[in-house]
């Protein structure tokens, strides 16, 4: 948020999150969208930075023996279905002309082409589903709003609660501020030609 507020060009920057907006509750997403619609100003940029990898109950699976339906359903609810509902209610609010971007934070481990290590079944599969949802929504968005952009972004490894248990030496771990600045630079460089794509924090395309 701080990084976004420092950038010129936005009349207002609004943070939405729990408890008002719970990504697994369509009701709360509808209410947030209604609030924004009521404001009357078109949205120039929507960033979805929600995600789930582990909590007190569940950690990423190391083997198929650890696959648990409740864990997997939660990963899909937060990482794929929730962002799909954001697309449903927020894509129609994007500005019809000029800059209009919807960006959701995916993860490189959601790439099927890049999967050499295995494991992390629920996280990988739910992020792969997210990537497909982004691509699918971008096609529909392009039909109604030619200049608008819908993308999946990989933020790189960032020092947050999500990554903390898994950070290995030799990996570049960014501060959240650095990662946010890099992602905003990538977003600033996006045009309609990039809609439906999957890009990392340095602007490089990631394999599906
Ligand atoms: N950190 C990394 O190294 C890394 C690497 C690759 C991809 N990513 C992706 O980047 C994104 C952000 O990750 P992070 O590292 O910032 O993780 P994090 O510190 O665990 O933050 C996750 C965010 O998601 C929100 N969230 C979770 N469930 C929610 C729900 N039901 N409704 C509304 N908000 C919900 C959390 O809100 P609360 O504050 O309310 O809990 C929190 O703001 C995720 O999509 C993650 O998969 C991160």
Task: Using a cut of 0.75, tell me whether the model's pTM lies above it.
Answer: yes
pLDDT in tens, 98-125: 889 999 999 999 999 999 999 999 999 9
| Per-residue model confidence (pLDDT) at position 128 | 98
- Torsion of the alpha carbons at 59, 76, 80 and 169, rounded to the nearest 10: 10
Distance in Å, CA 195 to ligand 1 centroid: 23
Nearest protein Cα to ligand 1, atom 46: 51
Question: Is the CB of 51 inside a 6 Å radius of any atom of ligand 1?
Answer: yes
Question: Is the CB of 152 inside a 6 Å radius of any atom of ligand 1?
Answer: no
Question: Is the CB of 146 inside a 6 Å radius of any atom of ligand 1?
Answer: no
| Per-residue model confidence (pLDDT) at position 1 | 81
Supply φ then ψ for residue 194, to 5 degrees: -95, -5
pLDDT in tens, 5-49: 888 778 899 999 999 999 999 999 999 999 999 888 899 999 999
């Amino acid at each position: 948020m701080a990084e976004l507020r420092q950038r010129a060009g936005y009349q207002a920057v609004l943070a939405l999150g729990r408890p008002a907006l719970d990504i697994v509750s369509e009701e709360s997403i509808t209410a947030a969208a209604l609030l924004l619609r009521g404001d009357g100003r078109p949205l120039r940029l929507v960033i979805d930075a929600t995600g789930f990898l582990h909590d007190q109950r569940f950690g990423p699976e190391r083997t198929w023996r650890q696959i648990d339906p409740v864990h997997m359903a939660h990963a899909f609810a937060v990482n794929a279905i929730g962002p799909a509902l954001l697309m449903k209610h927020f894509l129609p609010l994007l500005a019809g002309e000029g800059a209009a971007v919807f960006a959701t934070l995916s993860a490189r481990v959601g790439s099927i082409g890049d999967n050499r290590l295995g494991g992390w079944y629920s996280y990988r599969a739910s992020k792969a589903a997210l990537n497909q949802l982004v691509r699918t929504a971008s096609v529909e968005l392009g039909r109604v709003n030619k200049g608008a952009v819908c993308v999946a972004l990989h933020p790189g490894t960032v020092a947050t609660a999500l990554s903390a248990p898994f950070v290995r030496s030799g990996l570049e771990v960014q501060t959240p501020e650095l990662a946010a600045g890099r992602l905003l630079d990538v977003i600033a460089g996006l045009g309609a030609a990039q809609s439906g794509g999957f890009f990392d924090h340095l602007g490089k395309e990631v394999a599906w």
